[in-house]
Amino acid sequence: MFSKSIQHKKLRLELSENRDRLYKLAFAWTNDAMLADDLVQETLQKAMQSLGNLREHAKLMPWACRILRNCHHDWLRRHREHGDIEDFEIAGSVDPEQDYLQQDTSRLVRDAIARLPQKHRDVITLVDLMEFSYQEVSTALDIPIGTVMSRLCRARAQLRDRLKVHVEQSSTASPTQLRRVK
Amino acid sequence: MTDSTDKKSHVSDELLNSFIDHQITNEERQELLALLNRDETLANRVCELQRIKQLTQLAYDDIPAPAGNEQPDIARKRQFPMAASIAIFSLGLLLGLGMMQINTRVDLLPSLSAAHAQTKVLVHLTSADVDAGLNTLDNIQQMLQEYAANQQSVVIEVVANGNGIKLLSNSNRDIARRIAALTEWHDNVSFAACKNTIDQIKITNGRDIQLIPQVKLIDSGIVNVIKRQQQGWTYIRG
């Protein structure tokens, strides 16, 4: 019992230390700072209350991301009346054309990611922002690894197509630093 | 890239994604490397996927800070001030992208009994994970000490690009102190940062990266990694 308490303390600490990563992920899923913060708060509370349900401590972060995803889906269900949650796109915070003119690469990329279907956005953000292995993504989303790979493939292909114009423009502006190879 | 399979090389996008995400076996990596060496189109596809990955990593470094309604026991981890990177892959540099990933644990580091007169090790930093970075520095220090104790020669070059650049910025005092100590005591270890990455961070986020003083600047981190591998250096992903 005593060692279990120590282990739970370590897990709580690990969760706390990963709060910023979870927030970044939540922001990528929502494009809304306040909502992202609320979801992370809710996730951490739920995770800390149910640490006893976590069988493999090594899977803490995929498990936490799964809780975050469930919290997000719950929020979507409460605020959206129709449609498949996994296909939802979220509103970009800015006008892509305006961003393009402003050369604001970060916002442009975020906007392109925001317009991905949720199921694709989930996978690419877990791989690239959380730096999860495909197995960890599979655990977090409760989908087969093959599905992880195909969704990631689709997500990156869509991003490539949506960011193509910007990349070409950047190539003209700064050929030594950002250029299309193809 | 809606086609999942390339007609010429018959390599699926799924496999190429697995390659850039370090999700394939060493054998698969070597096979793919051989293909990349002779298939320019395939190399370009890898380039595009890598760029998309790094754009994604970069895009969320300057998002609005959370409102701050956390509970007292849910501490916020210190945020890095810098952006992730976009490494620029020229056509040529892609030819050697396949690289063997070796566990960074000391027990898997190059054997001290190796017959080579001098062991050459390249440590590649691609992640901003501070704990992993400190662990890598621990391993480097232990390796330097073990080689010295056995009177064997080793040279270690640490190269950072992509997210790994964050570890070599002077924003992290723990890392900076460790690197300063390592380079002060050992002439056979060096640290280098990719200029392409730093330039891209400047373009994208408007931020200047201040490197730790002991870190030298090289034009392209990934080109250096490939070059070293071609020269027979042992590759370790930090």
Q: What's the CATH number where A28 sits?
A: 1.20.140.160
Give the domain extent around B164. Answer: 13-62+76-237
Alpha-carbon distance B123 to B135, whole Å?
A: 12
Alpha-carbon distance B31 to B219, whole Å?
A: 28
What's the average model confidence in pLDDT over B198-219? 83
| Mutation to test the A interface, candidates B23, B127, B166, most A Cβ within 10 Å | B23
Please state, in angstroms and as integers, the Cα–Cα distance from residue A12 to each residue in A118, B72, B107, B207, following that order: 28, 12, 30, 34
Alpha-carbon distance A43 to A37, whole Å?
A: 10
What's the average model confidence in pLDDT over B8-19? 85
- Supply the pLDDT for residue A92: 54
Alpha-carbon distance B180 to B173, whole Å?
A: 10
Question: The domain that contains B101 carries what CATH number?
Answer: 3.40.1260.10
Q: Select from B70, B76, B204 the Cβ nearest to the Cβ of A105.
A: B204
- The answer to whether B48 contacts chain A (CB < 8 Å) is yes
Nearest residue on chain A to B70, alpha-carbon basis:
A41
- Confirm whether A100 is domain-assigned: yes
Q: Which of B228, B2, B197, B28 is nearest to B120 (CA)?
A: B228
- Confirm whether B131 is domain-assigned: yes
Q: What percent of chain B has pLDDT over 90?
A: 24
- Confirm whether B8 is domain-assigned: no
SS (H, E, C) A39-84: HHHHHHHHHHHCHHHCCCHHHHHHHHHHHHHHHHHHHHHHHCCCCC
Q: Select from A28, A106, A153 the Cβ nearest to the Cβ of B4.
A: A153
- Confirm whether B171 is domain-assigned: yes
Q: Select from B56, B63, B88 the Cβ nearest to the Cβ of A33.
A: B63
Using an 8 Å Cβ cutoff, are A64 and A47 in contact? yes
B26 pLDDT higher than 60: yes
Q: Which of B18, B204, B2, B63 is nearest to A160 (CA)?
A: B2
More confident residue, B98 or B208: B208
- Confirm whether B148 is domain-assigned: yes
Chain A residues inside the 8 Å CB shell of B95: none
- Supply the pLDDT for residue A133: 94
Q: Select from A23, A106, A133 the Cβ nearest to the Cβ of B59.
A: A106
- Confirm whether A37 is domain-assigned: yes
Asked if A181 lies within 8 A of B48 by C-beta distance, the reply is yes
Chain B residues inside the 8 Å CB shell of A153: 4, 13-14, 17
- Supply the pLDDT for residue B206: 72
- Confirm whether A77 is domain-assigned: yes
- Confirm whether A182 is domain-assigned: no
Total residue length of chain B: 238
Q: For B36-57, write each residue's pLDDT tens digit.
A: 877 888 888 887 888 888 888 8
Asked if A179 lies within 8 A of B51 by C-beta distance, the reply is no
Q: For B186-197, write each residue's pLDDT tens digit.
A: 989 999 998 888
Provide the residue-wise pLDDT of chain A in tens; the chain has 182 residues. 557 778 888 898 899 889 999 999 999 999 899 999 999 999 999 999 888 888 888 899 999 999 999 999 999 988 875 555 555 555 554 455 544 444 477 888 899 999 999 999 999 999 999 999 999 999 999 999 999 999 999 999 999 998 875 554 443 333 333 333 33
Average pLDDT, chain B: 75
Number of Cα atoms under 13 Å in the Cβ half of residue A78:
6
Q: In one letter, which amino acid is B218? A: I
B100 pLDDT higher than 80: no
B residues 71-90 lying closer than 8 A (beta carbon) to A: 71, 73-77, 79, 83, 86, 88-90
Alpha-carbon distance B172 to B178, whole Å?
A: 10
In chain B, the number of structural domains is 1
In chain A, the number of structural domains is 1
- Give ipTM to 2 decimals: 0.79
- Confirm whether A165 is domain-assigned: yes
pTM of the prediction?
0.62
Asked if A134 lies within 8 A of B13 by C-beta distance, the reply is no
Eight-state DSSP code of residue B160: E
- Supply the pLDDT for residue B102: 33
Give the domain extent around A33. Answer: 2-173
- Confirm whether A179 is domain-assigned: no
Asked if A178 lies within 8 A of B203 by C-beta distance, the reply is yes
- The answer to whether B4 contacts chain A (CB < 8 Å) is yes
What's the average model confidence in pLDDT over B159-168? 88
Asked if A41 lies within 8 A of B204 by C-beta distance, the reply is no
- Supply the pLDDT for residue A102: 43
Asked if B1 lies within 8 A of A157 by C-beta distance, the reply is yes
Asked if A109 lies within 8 A of B75 by C-beta distance, the reply is no
User: In the structure, what pLDDT confidence band is assigned to residue B67 with cuts at 50, 70 and 90?
Assistant: low
The residues pairing with B120 across neighbouring beta strands, listed in sequence order, are B155
Q: For B108-131, write each residue's pLDDT tens digit.
A: 344 444 444 789 999 999 888 888
